[in-house]
Amino acid sequence: MDQSTLTRIRALVAEIEQLLELEDEPQVDLYVAPIAVPDEITIQGIIGRPEFTHRKGRPLWTAGVGVNERDETIWYNIAAGNDIAQQARAFGRGQVVQITGSQKTDSYVGQDGTLKAKTTITVRHMSGVASSATTP
């Protein structure tokens, strides 16, 4: 990657940092540029690594949700803000949930300088499910 490309990426990161200060939706990481349009998605799976924090004075709940698909577990990054984050605190690791939200894939530059992608579902609705599933 040449110096002009790195300079442009740094400028984009600075612009995005400014935009994130104004944005209402919860964000988990700093992203460089979107590579897909948000899509509505509903998944059902088992909660892993739940964490409740405050970001910029607002509640934020993040977790992974493992979904069994064809003999393998696919993990989704989940983020919920404000009232939904407060409600999500009741859900713990290993609990089965159904989540509906907008799916967004963003790209960022990793520490090794390569372009990477991360998909996050921003929760609009979340409910517990009576489970007969096995933990991923």
Structure confidence by residue, pLDDT tens digits, 20-47: 665 555 444 444 455 454 578 999 999 9
In this structure, are residues 40 and 103 in contact, taking their beta carbons and an 8 Å threshold?
yes
pLDDT one-digit tens code per residue, 58-86: 999 999 999 998 889 988 999 999 999 99
Question: What does the pLDDT read at residue 133?
Answer: 47
pLDDT one-digit tens code per residue, 103-135: 988 888 888 988 888 889 999 999 988 755 444
The residue with greater pLDDT, 33 or 89, is 89
Domains of the chain, first to last: 3-128 (2.40.50.140)
3-state secondary structure of 22: helix
- Three-point CA angle 126, 53, 125, nearest 5°: 10
How far apart CA 123 and CA 78 sit, in angstroms, is 7
Cα Rg of the chain (Å, integer): 16
Question: What does the pLDDT read at residue 21?
Answer: 62
How far does Cα 98 stand from its chain's mean position?
15
Q: Which two tokens stand for residue 57?
A: 């004075």
Q: Which of 49, 129, 128, 51 is nearest to 89 (CA)?
A: 51
